[in-house]
A and B are shown apart, each in its own frame.
Chain A
Amino acid sequence: MDSRPPYLPEEIILNILKRLPVESLIRFQCVCKHWNNLIKSPSFIADHLQQSSHQNPSLLLDCNNSCSPLRWRLRLLDWGMQVRLVQKAPLVDSFWGASIIGSCNGLVCVQIHQHDKSPPSLSLWNPATTAVRHVPRPRIIFSDLDDCMTGFGFSPIVNDYKIVRTYSKLYYEVDRAEVFSLSRGSWKRIDSGNLKGVRLNSEAVTTNGAIFWSGVKLDADEDGEDGVEVIAQVIVSFDIVKEVFTLSPWPDLNYTSGDEKLTIYGNKLAILCDIWRRDNERFDLIRLWVMEEGTCAFGERRNWTKIYTSPFSKTLDPVTIWRNQIVYTRGGSAVPSKKGRTVHLMNLTTNEVKRFVVPYRGSIQNIYNYVESLVSVGNNYIEES
């Protein structure tokens, strides 16, 4: 047999390359010009992302310790259930710390807190390629009585990543909003009229070209002196393409006491309920409701389907959904073991519970679905740390 390797057609080379981790692909950009062009091409980046989502969907864990910079708090859990520290997180030189807004297609949106007179600044970061892009300052004037909420998402229709921000007086209704587009590279003021009387009160989740928050409809008395009263719970959605906010009523999920949290299940908006009392009985279980698809007129009630009820268990804090499992921690007075914090995964089909330990004894702030990709943080102002 000929000892030289056979000539491999390009489609085969691409089929091999798309299975490689980002770290290898960055190194292989130095092999030759042809491979450099292949690896940088948008079609390859998209194929690689799809393969990565299928082959190695991961979790990004934000372990909270307000004294620690971001780079010491973040950990990744991969398909093989191995936990490792995220290397080279962006340098956040803010005394007030940083938090994660969300993650999409391998990009992470980081919010850096400032002193009271400035809104938090933002960065887009790809942990796999280590590229960081500081997002330019938003245009809206911010005062020290103001508050803001931020969401991050992607639309395949316009092939663009956007960051949306709403502003309000602290505890009051949304009165301004703007959106940043990665491809445009700038902020744009948008109409927030649909959010009149609404205050957002959760972190954002995103799927299918939309960003969602839970919110409350407020009924302010005329002179505003007695504060505001909550009259209803709502779901706020933001269409990434049209850049428009919509409201829909929060579903009535029929139980006495518990916590509800928006999450994503199978590319649909879902609500994770942590129910800890029914009638006068104390117990703890988790239910998952999924919103049915289809467009709705503004304010119209949607249909929700209960798709899962967990077995009875002790104080559970559900966080998110990953690979058909509910990710949760033991809440309440659970203390970390010597090895660290335990995170549990409950399979929605089999109820089997798996566990992994994060070698960190502080609390886990939040957990995000994450996938490694080559997606660029933008053509301009790229800083690679």
Chain B
Amino acid sequence: MSSPVEQITVVSSDGDEFKMTVAAAMQSEQLKQMLTDDSISIVKVPVENISTEILVKVIEYCQKHADHEAATKANGGGASDSEAEELNKWDAEFMKVDVEDKLFHILMAANYLEIKGLFDLACQTVADLIKGKTPKQIRKIFNLKNDFTPEEQERLSRQHNCSFD
């Protein structure tokens, strides 16, 4: 019989170790599975494809949302409108990253660790970022090649009134 766990340690791909409270870890479906499975006694969880820089951000998100959930429960149920709005504002600030790539890495990490809130938030942030861009800019961001023939390009340009530039 293992003693109740209060913290777990996650290890980034760079080898750095970070402590997470159980409440924060439960934000991740993956970590939650491990924590609720009595047959596994957790010491350290390696997250091989998440770098230190990204892992720090992810843990920050999990902790904030775990704290918010706990506070809501203590108040007996639903979050008030102002509390929900405050969290939304925090989320919006949180997603303001300096480099676009960081956004994608957070997205991938949220997907890997199955943190639904962070995953949806990151997808929405990327969507808002790209919605006004041109096809050329999109190709650069997603590393895609324009594989249309010149005839196809011409037909599409006419149909959709868009430029390939």
Contact = CB atoms under 8 A, between A and B. Distances in A.
A27 interface: yes
Contacts, number: 85
| Interface range for A | 20 to 34
Contacts of A19: 123-124, 127
B131 interface: yes
B131 A30 contact: no
A78 to B, nearest CB: 14
A16 B132 contact: no
Contacts of B115: none
A21 B131 contact: yes
B137 to A, nearest CB: 10
A24 interface: yes
A16 B147 contact: no
Contacts of A33: 147-148
A8 B104 contact: yes
Contact of A24 (B107, B131, B143): B131
Contacts of B51: 1
B134 A32 contact: no
Contacts of A28: 135, 138
A30 B156 contact: yes
Given A27-B160, A29-B160, A30-B156, A5 B142 contact: yes
Interface string B100-115: 1110110110010000
A30 B130 contact: no
Given A5-B100, A12-B107, A33-B148, A27 B135 contact: yes
A57 B106 CA distance: 29
A332 interface: no
Interface string A17-57: 10111001011111111111000000000000000000000
Interface residues of B, number: 38
Contacts of B104: 5-6, 8
B141 interface: yes
B108 A20 contact: no
Interface string B121-165: 001101100111011001101111111100001001101101110
B127 A32 contact: no
B127 A20 contact: yes
A15 interface: yes
Given A16-B126, A24-B131, A32 B147 contact: yes
B146 to A, nearest CB: 6
A15 B163 CA distance: 25
A282 interface: no
Contacts of B60: none
A20 B108 CA distance: 19
A3 interface: yes
A243 interface: no
Nearest to A384: B159
A41 to B, nearest CB: 17
Contacts of A21: 131
A32 B108 contact: no
A20 B133 CA distance: 11
B53 interface: yes
A4 interface: yes
Contacts of A26: 160, 162
Nearest to A129: B160
A5 B160 contact: no
16 contacts: A1-B51, A1-B105, A5-B104, A6-B104, A6-B105, A6-B108, A7-B143, A8-B104, A8-B142, A15-B123, A16-B126, A24-B131, A30-B153, A31-B146, A32-B145, A384-B159
CB-based closest 8 A-B pairs: A19-B127, A24-B131, A30-B135, A31-B135, A15-B123, A27-B162, A32-B144, A16-B123
Interface of A: 1-9, 12-13, 15-17, 19-21, 24, 26-36, 384
